[in-house]
Amino acid sequence: MAIQNITMPQLGESVTEGTIEKWLVKPGDTVKKYDPLAEVVTDKVNAEIPSSFEGVITELLAEEGQTLPVGAVVCSVEIAGDSELPPPPPPKKSAVSTAILNAGVQKKQETKQPATAPIASQKTARQDKVRYSPAVLRLAQEYEIALDQITGTGEGGRITRKDLMKLIEAGNVPTSLVETPPAVDSAVPQSAPVAAPASQENPKSATSAQPIQAGDIEIPVTKVRRAIANNMVRSVHEVPHAWMMMEVDVTDLVTYRDSIKTEFKQKEGFNITYFAFFVKAVAQALKEFPMMNSMWAEDKIIQKHDINISIAVATEDALFVPVIKHADEKSIKGIAKEINELAVKVRAGKLTMDDIKGGTFTVNNTGAFGSIQSMGIINYPQAAILQVESIVKKPVILPGGMFAARDIVNLCLSLDHRVLDGLVCGKFLNRVKKILENTNKSSTSVY
């Protein structure tokens, strides 16, 4: 028999880690290939980790609530037929002697337990040899917890995320000037360094800096909200944001859409929204200005071939960014249908990994909340995000000096100044403006 390892998969283009929400198996369970093993939460999607093999679960190497980087081993599976497989390479000497470094075949390593140390030396031994998971390290740094003063409830006295959460919730956090050891959990591959969450670069968290007054309400940060926060901070820290705004007269578009919306809903079964017209106009303009459809890659800029529009869909406590693939090839009706289907999936918690992969440019419908001007944070690693604001009536001077009430919308563009400059962004926005201002019943079909 041989041991195969299951690792944390890449659950999105910019996703670097995932949190084990719930295990669906336990040691001793027999699984088939592609059977779901665990539910995982990231800032992009809720997904399942499938088994890559058929066999018996031998060990779960991550706890529920633990956050692991992409590539970290989460569990091991015993499979038959090791005689047909190449022998594992000899283990390298390392401070993390039991770490599983890849998803290849390996014999399960037995860790010899040292003799019980005298009480006086246990603290020193603990500081020298203990390993902490990324989730434990994150909480320890955020709340300034002295890990050397905590007795863990995990196997072998290991400190778990649940141990820290109990202390935090009880307000009984031990602190000291002793720095948190930099070591990571033995389940994390050394070949894939742990990406420090962006929140670690921030000053002391507000929860520890601000006193709790009578009547204050403490709202626990969900895993999804924490992941969103980390990704947003990463974008702001790494991307030099610049902004541009343009007014667009969409009076004819509004008249056209309002004239067909009732008949369209009766015929198609879903709404034809203003947003579908905006997404179509952006997709068309991206085809004409492909530099806007690019990404920064350190030593090069990657201009993406496919035009995949990410759209922001909010729930009560989270923001998801599903993707309309090949938006430039779809009609306004096709885009409206996908917007509707993706929104339904988000609110039902049924987004799949494929639904959120491959986005190249984001369009955010901030106007749905009544906003008239905003500056979006770029959806890393994309180079730009366009905020479509609320359509409002404004007095406009027409040719000849006459005033008229017109439907005006602000388009607010956030751009990565490493990739894009004002010239190309101005031309792009002007093209979107021209398309929208010439959208009417006589010139535009939704089919």
Q: Which residues are catalytic?
A: 417, 421
Task: Give the max Cα distance, the chain.
Answer: 94
Distance in angstroms (rounded) separating the CA atoms of residues 93 and 414: 48
CB hemisphere CA count around 340 (13 angstroms): 14
Q: Strand pairing partners for 396?
A: 404
C-beta atoms surrounding 162 within 10 Å: 17
Find the angle CA(445)-CA(446)-CA(447) to the nearest 5 degrees. 90
- The 3-state DSSP class for residue 149 equals helix
Q: Give the single-character DSSP code of 115.
A: P
Q: Give the single-character DSSP code of 98.
A: T
| 198 CA to centre of own chain | 13
Least Cα distance to 326 among 304, 353, 308 occurs for 308
Contact 176, 149 (CB under 8 A): yes
Distance in angstroms (rounded) separating the CA atoms of residues 230 and 67: 13
The phi and psi torsions of 90 (rounded to 5 degrees) equal -60, 140
H or E, element range at 77: strand 73-79
C-beta atoms surrounding 183 within 10 Å: 15
Contact 364, 312 (CB under 8 A): yes
Q: Which residue has the tokens 């007054």?
A: 213
User: What is the SS3 string spanning 264-306?
Assistant: HHHHHCCCCCHHHHHHHHHHHHHHHCHHHHEEECCCCEEECCC
Q: Give the single-character DSSP code of 235.
A: H
- The 3-state DSSP class for residue 433 equals helix
Contact 242, 298 (CB under 8 A): no
